[in-house]
Each structure stands twice: as structure tokens, then as C-alpha cells.
Amino acid sequence: MAQGDIETYYEDGSWKNKREGTGRAFGAGYGTKDEAVTAGRAAAQVDKVEHVIKNQDGQISSKNSYGNDPRNVPG
């Protein structure tokens, strides 16, 4: 992940969000993955960075980019 990207992950019985480059979560711990994803998405959209969403086992389930995408990429 690039510096400043947002990661949604599961740790110590709750879902959390953190910004890449920091060692701690921001916001409250969330009871459900959907709540954490919603908060993480909002932060990524404001900051125009990538949002990486992980499953409970730590595997990446999806990524969404909210800015700084190259415009002339084929495909």
C-alpha cells in the first residue's frame, strides 16, 4: 500500500481502519465489517487514496481507488 492509503482490517475482536504509515487505528472499533468499510471508504474518498479491505483472516478481499488514477492506461 502507498503512504496514506486506508486499510480496513479485523483485530482483537473488532473491525478497524488505519492509515498506511501509522501504527494505530483511527476512529472507534466497529462491531461489523460493513460499519468499518463505510468509515474507511469515506476517509479514502476525502483523502483521494486507495481503500484496501481485508477479510477477518487478513487476506485482501477488495481494493478501491478514489483518486490519482492514471488516465491513459489501456484496458
29 burial via Cβ count (<10 Å: 0-12, 13-18, 19+) = middle
β-strand 50-54 against 6-11: which pairing, if any? parallel
Q: Is the pLDDT of residue 72 over 70?
A: no
pLDDT category of residue 67 using cuts at 50, 70 and 90: confident
pLDDT category of residue 70 using cuts at 50, 70 and 90: low
The model's pTM is 0.84
pLDDT tens digits for range 4-55: 899 999 999 999 999 998 888 998 899 999 999 999 999 999 999 999 999 9
What is the sign, positive or negative, of the torsion defined by CA atoms of 64, 61, 58, 40?
positive
